[in-house]
Amino acid sequence: MIEFKLNGNKVSSAADVNTPLLWVIRDEFGFKGTKFGCGIGMCGACTVHMDGAPVRTCSFPLLAAANKNITTIEGLEGKHPLQKTWIEEQVPQCGYCQSGQIMQAATLLANNPSPSDQEIVDHMSGNLCRCMAYVRIKSAIKNAADVMSADVQTFDPRASTQQS
């Protein structure tokens, strides 16, 4: 049994230790927001947070998640400023990559509350969008950074994984 926290809750899985974490999250625990894109960790659709850092779950074995804190898009509970600015900016077209985009962007803002345009581009460069919504993605990230800097209590994406 591999034990870890998933969206703040202690869970365990008896899946083969080499099973990609993506399939455990989706098939065993039912969190379908984390998407399968390429299967080799190159597109970013499967991005979640592990102890606050972005991880590509399609190529990340279950064994490596042991005793870690994993947060999926569902773990943000629709409360992250990025999720709100994503809607305001009408970022998604097909929407397939958006949970991975948001999870990647959340780690940027957690570590850099006021990123430059180039820092956003650099940090997000590994997350691909077939609809080419990159201009709106960058705008939503900048707007979320503004919202977060104006808010005294900045949202910490790791908070949902720190529950007992």
Burial of 77-103, coded b for 16+ CB within 10 Å and e otherwise, reads eeebbbbebbeebebbeeebbbbbbbb
The answer to whether residues 62 and 88 belong to one domain is: no
Q: Is the pLDDT of residue 99 over 60?
A: yes
87/140 same-domain check = yes
| CATH code at position 34 | 3.10.20.30
Percent of the chain residues past pLDDT 70, beyond the cut: 92
pTM, two decimals, is 0.88
For 82-120, the DSSP string reads HHHHHHHTT--SS-TTHHHHHHHHHHHHHH-SS--HHHH
- Cα separation, 133 vs 129, in Å, equals 7
pLDDT at position 95 over 90: no
Between CA 99 and CA 142 the distance in angstroms is 17
Phi/psi region, residue 121 (left: phi>0; alpha: psi -120 to 50; beta: rest), is alpha
Question: What is the reported pLDDT for 156?
Answer: 55
pLDDT at position 83 over 80: yes
Read off the DSSP letter of residue 61. B
Tens digits of residue pLDDT in 17-64: 999 999 999 999 999 999 999 999 999 999 999 999 999 999 999 999
| Statement: residue 9 has pLDDT above 70 | yes
Out of 50-64, 117-131, 145-159, which region has the weakest mean confidence (pLDDT)?
Answer: 145-159
**Span 104-121, average pLDDT:** 96
The whole domain housing 53 covers: 2-75
Cα distances from 50 to residues 4, 27, 72, 130, in angstroms, run 10, 19, 9, 25
Q: Are residues 90 and 57 in the same domain?
A: no
Q: Give the domain-ending residue among 37, 58, 75.
A: 75
Percentage of the chain lying above the pLDDT 90 cut: 87
* pLDDT tens digits, one per residue of 53-63: 999 999 999 99
